Structures are given as C-alpha cells and as structure tokens.
C-alpha cells in the first residue's frame, strides 16, 4: 500500500477529513510562530515582567464586550515616536505629541500610565509634560517631569532612559494627585481630601463630579492626550512617549496575573506541542519497530532477552517516574521527551514482534528466503512492508500521549521554564487561584488547545484505521 492510497482512504472518512484539517491548522500556526517569534521567547519576553508592565492584570478578552451590558474599556496604548507639531522659540524647541482618544465606554479605565524612553540632550535637561484635553473643553495638566540633570562625572551628550524606560503609574502617582487636586479646586470648586482622591484619579480624568456625596460619572467624547517636550538644543532627541489606557478587557485572549498577553503565550505553545508529540512519536516508533522486528525474526535467546526487558520497561508507571526525574535532574524538555521514548518503545516492540512472527511465516517470506535473500533484507524489505500501515497508525497514536504527558507534568509545576507550554500557562493559573476566581479565559483555552492538538492525532489515527484493518474498508 503506497502513500497515495493511504491518503485517499484517510480523506474518504469524515473523521479523517476533520483530522487533516486540524493537522494543517496546527502546522500552519506552528510555522508562523517559528518564523515570527524569537528563539529565546521564554526568558526574554514571557518570563520578563517589564515587557508586560503596561498591560492590565487578570482581564478578560476584548470580544467579551459583545456579551457585556456595559461597554468596557478596551486596553489601548497610545505610542508616538514623531511629534505632530514642533514650535521653535528663541532658545528652546518644543515638541508636541497629540493622540486622539474617543472615549465611548461606560466604565472608567482600570489604570493609566505614562512612559518615556531614549532621551538624549546636549545642554539643559528637557522638560516633559502630559496633559489631557477633555470633550467639555477643560484641560488637566497631569504630569510634569524634568529629565535628570548631568552628574559631575558625565559629559555631554547625555542619554537617559535607554536601558529601562521612565514609567509613571499615573493612577497612583503623588505628583499627579496634587495636580488633580488643583484641577478639581480650580474647575469645579471641589475640595476632596488627598487620601480619598488617591484611588479615584482615573475617575477624575475621565469623569465629571456628580455633586454632593455622589460618585463621578463617565464623560464620553473626544479626548486629546497631549505630551510636550521642551528641549534646549537642536540635536536633542526624544525616543518614544506613550500613554496607556488600562482596559478591563484585553486583546483576543485576555491577560494573566502579571499582565501577560495570553494569546501570545498560547500561540507559542503550538510548535512546542508539535515538537514534543512528533519527536517522541517518531523516535519511539523507529526504536520500537526495529527492536520488535529483530526480536521476532531472530528468535531464540535474543528474542527472550528483548521480550523480558520490554515486559519490564513497558510496565513502569510513567507519571511518577517523570515527576521524580524532572524534580531531581531538572526541568528540561528534552528530558521529558527522552523518558517518554525510553518507556514508550517496549510496548510497541511487543506488538510488532507478534505481528512479525505472523508475517515471517507467510509464503512470500519463505520464498524470499529460498531465493537466498539475506536476513536483514528479509527483515526490512519484506517483513517491515507488510506491517508498515499498522506501524504508521501506532505512530500517530503515540503523538497525543506525549502531548498529554508533557501537559500533565507542566501542570504539576515541572515544566521547562525556558519554553512556555499550554500546561505551564494552566499551571500558573491554577497555582495562583485563577480557577477559584473564575478567570476562565486563563485556564480553559490552554486546556482546550491541548485537547485540540491531541484530538487531531486521534482523528487521524481513526481515519487511517481502515488501512490497518481491511475489514473496515467499504
């Protein structure tokens, strides 16, 4: 039976078709990730909290807005690298960065933050301000920052905020708090005690006070976020300014407790799952098949020794051993794959041996032997090709087992920290109590993806069953 026939049979059944579609999906997403993500994604981005600092924590996906009665704030990052306006004075130049924000949400943002990076100056340190112009014509000066001046040992030009950007968490900043107090006093003639104001900075910015004893109400409309940078030398430069409107929904898959974009992590899990599944399955099959054929065809003492050995290895309870070895030797992905192969091949070798015993007594093999074919030739040219479809089906069946084993191990907190997997995302959700807090977007999708990946191969195996078992062919 050649490959084309196998594919025809596979595509003739419904389960086979679904399996093929899922498989193509897995491969395409994996290829995309391999090309788009850096190799050191785990340590550099995923496990690096500064990358995710600007994201809201524990928020649901943006599309949940469809089901929500009130319109929740979508997380938005207003970044600017080039000023939209420059005014040149006698001895200073002012850059203006203006972003438009149309605020049509029914809720207040969860937080706001402001970041500046890569500033270079040649004489006097630049002054940065952030103000917000509201739809009702009022303007609030939120923040004013003078870049740190030169220390005696430094020489011009001086670069600031190159390694780590200067980040202000506006919702909890003291200077913002005093600016807000001034604004309320001047515009609304309101005196709110500073400690009381501390938690409601964002409400003041995006709302109007509701009078005596009442809460702030959302002010919808067009806002302008205005950042200015006053510089004192023509060569001074500002890298990037950004204002973050912290949402209560984020992206396609929401975020976890450190603000990580779950969609990014889940995507990275695709190639890893395929890698684990396919590597384990292919190597297990190669070792298991060769040992099975050798054992069955050679017979005698070799056969007995191999079979006793297989009997023992195939009966070792896998998960306890995996837990033990991962705990003692280290949390490495290759170790997991190695153990899965080590304890996986004997089961196949036992099965292959019994099939070989059957097929090596056929007349075809007998005739080949009579023609003087060598032992190896018979084993791998004739015996192997008779049982090849069965082995293919077995190989497909090993794949989900490996994916599930890795996910389970990761779920126990023994995953490889340098390679984020679906199991690890689930584990971090489970160990921080996301299950009991009802953060379904954090714990359900990774599990669902494990199921999807594993099921793809089960469907393929079911679709290919008629190849192995001719009775099932229509």
Partner 1 sequence: MSPLITKLAARFLTLFGVLLVVLLLVVITLGATGFSDRMLHATLNEDLRGLRQTLAQTIRDPIELEQTLEIRRQELTSFYSLDKPWQSRLPETVWRVLTFDLGESRSLRSFEGSSQVIDIVSERLLNTILLITSASVITAILGLIIGPRLASRVGSRLDRLSSLFLAFSYALPSWWVGIFLIIILAFNFDIFPAGGMFSLPPPEGGIFRFLDMLWHATLPIISMVLVSVGAWAYTVRAMLINTAQEPFVTVGRAKGLSKRLVERRYILRVAAPPIITSLTLGLTASLGGAILVETVFNWPGMGRLYYDAILAADESVIVALTFIYTLMYIAARFTLEILYLILDPRIRYA
List interacting residues with partner 1 (CB under 8 A). 15, 308, 311-313, 315-321, 323-325, 327-329, 400, 404-405, 407-408, 411-414, 426, 430, 435-436, 438, 440, 443-444, 447, 450-455, 457-459, 462
The residue to which tokens 């069946």 are assigned: 397
Q: At what angle do helices 262-298 and 384-409 cross, to 10 degrees?
A: 140
CB distance 444 to 452 below 8 Å: no
Q: Quick one: 97 or 345, whose CB is closer to partner 1?
A: 345
**76-80 vs 237-246, strand pairing mode:** antiparallel
CB distance 431 to 416 below 8 Å: no
Shortest Å distance, C-beta 419 to partner 1 = 19
Token pair, residue 354, equals 């019994």
Shortest Å distance, C-beta 141 to partner 1 = 45
Q: Quick one: 170 or 405, whose CB is closer to partner 1?
A: 405
Shortest Å distance, C-beta 436 to partner 1 = 6
Q: Quick one: 51 or 323, whose CB is closer to partner 1?
A: 323
d(CA 2, CA 9): 11
Q: Identify whether 157 is preceded by a cis peptide bond (ω within 30 of 0).
A: yes
Shortest Å distance, C-beta 309 to partner 1 = 9
- Residue 19: which residues within 8 A CB-CB, separation 6 or more? 10, 456, 457, 458, 459, 460, 462, 463
Which candidate, 248, 249, 246, 227, places its Cα nearest to that of 238?
Answer: 227
d(CA 183, CA 177): 10
What does the longest C-alpha to C-alpha distance in the chain come to? 108
The residue to which tokens 């705990």 are assigned: 327
Shortest Å distance, C-beta 404 to partner 1 = 5
Q: Residue 356: count other Cβ atoms within 10 Å of its Cβ.
A: 25
Shortest Å distance, C-beta 287 to partner 1 = 18
Q: Quick one: 22 or 216, whose CB is closer to partner 1?
A: 22
CB distance 364 to 304 below 8 Å: no
Shortest Å distance, C-beta 340 to partner 1 = 12
CB distance 150 to 144 below 8 Å: no
d(CA 237, CA 406): 49
Q: Quick one: 218 or 310, whose CB is closer to partner 1?
A: 310
Q: Quick one: 346 or 420, whose CB is closer to partner 1?
A: 346
Q: Quick one: 36 or 329, whose CB is closer to partner 1?
A: 329
Q: Quick one: 51 or 451, whose CB is closer to partner 1?
A: 451
**76-80 vs 111-121, strand pairing mode:** unpaired
Q: Quick one: 325 or 387, whose CB is closer to partner 1?
A: 325
Which candidate, 307, 280, 278, places its Cα nearest to that of 292?
Answer: 307
Shortest Å distance, C-beta 386 to partner 1 = 21
Shortest Å distance, C-beta 253 to partner 1 = 16
């Amino acid at each position: 039976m050649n490959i084309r026939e196998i594919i025809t049979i596979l595509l003739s059944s419904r389960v086979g078709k679904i399996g093929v579609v899922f498989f193509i999906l897995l491969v395409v997403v994996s290829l995309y990730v391999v090309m788009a993500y850096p190799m050191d994604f785990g340590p550099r981005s995923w496990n690096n909290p500064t990358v995710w600092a600007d994201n809201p924590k524990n928020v649901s996906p943006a599309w949940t807005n469809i089901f929500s009665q009130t319109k929740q704030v979508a997380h938005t990052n207003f970044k600017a690298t080039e000023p939209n306006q420059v005014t040149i004075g006698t001895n200073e130049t002012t850059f203006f960065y203006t972003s438009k924000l149309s605020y049509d949400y029914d809720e207040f943002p969860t937080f706001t933050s402001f970041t500046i990076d890569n500033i270079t100056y040649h004489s006097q340190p630049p002054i940065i301000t952030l103000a917000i112009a509201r739809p009702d014509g009022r303007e609030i000066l939120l923040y004013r920052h003078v870049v740190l001046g030169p220390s005696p040992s430094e020489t011009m030009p001086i670069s600031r905020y190159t390694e780590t950007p200067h980040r202000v968490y506006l919702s909890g900043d003291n200077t913002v708090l005093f600016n807000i107090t001034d604004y309320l006093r001047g515009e609304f003639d309101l005196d709110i005690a500073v400690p009381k104001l501390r938690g409601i900075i964002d409400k003041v910015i995006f709302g109007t006070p509701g009078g005596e004893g009442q809460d702030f109400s959302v002010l919808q409309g067009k806002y302008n976020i205005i950042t200015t940078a006053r510089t004192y030398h023509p060569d001074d430069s500002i890298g990037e300014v950004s204002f973050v409107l912290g949402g209560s929904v984020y992206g396609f898959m929401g975020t976890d407790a450190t603000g990580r974009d779950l969609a990014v992590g889940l995507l990275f899990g695709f190639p890893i799952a395929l890698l684990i599944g396919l590597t384990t399955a292919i190597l297990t099959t190669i070792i298991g098949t060769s040992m099975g054929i050798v054992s069955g065809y050679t017979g005698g003492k070799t056969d007995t020794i191999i079979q006793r050995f297989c009997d023992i290895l195939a009966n070792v309870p896998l998960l306890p051993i995996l837990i033990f070895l991962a705990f003692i030797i280290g949390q490495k992905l290759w170790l997991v794959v190695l153990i899965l192969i080590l304890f996986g091949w004997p089961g196949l070798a036992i099965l292959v041996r019994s099939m070989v015993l059957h097929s090596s007594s056929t007349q075809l093999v007998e005739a080949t032997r009579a023609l003087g074919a060598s032992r190896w030739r018979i084993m791998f040219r004739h015996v192997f090709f008779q049982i090849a479809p069965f082995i293919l089906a077995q190989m497909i069946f090993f794949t989900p087992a490996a994916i599930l084993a890795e996910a389970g191990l990761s779920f126990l907190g023994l995953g490889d920290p340098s390679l984020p997997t679906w199991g690890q995302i689930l584990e971090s959700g489970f160990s921080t109590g996301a299950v009991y807090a009802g953060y379904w977007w954090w714990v359900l999708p990774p599990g669902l993806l494990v199921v999807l990946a594993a099921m793809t191969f089960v469907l393929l195996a079911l679709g290919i069953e008629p190849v192995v078992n001719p009775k099932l062919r229509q």
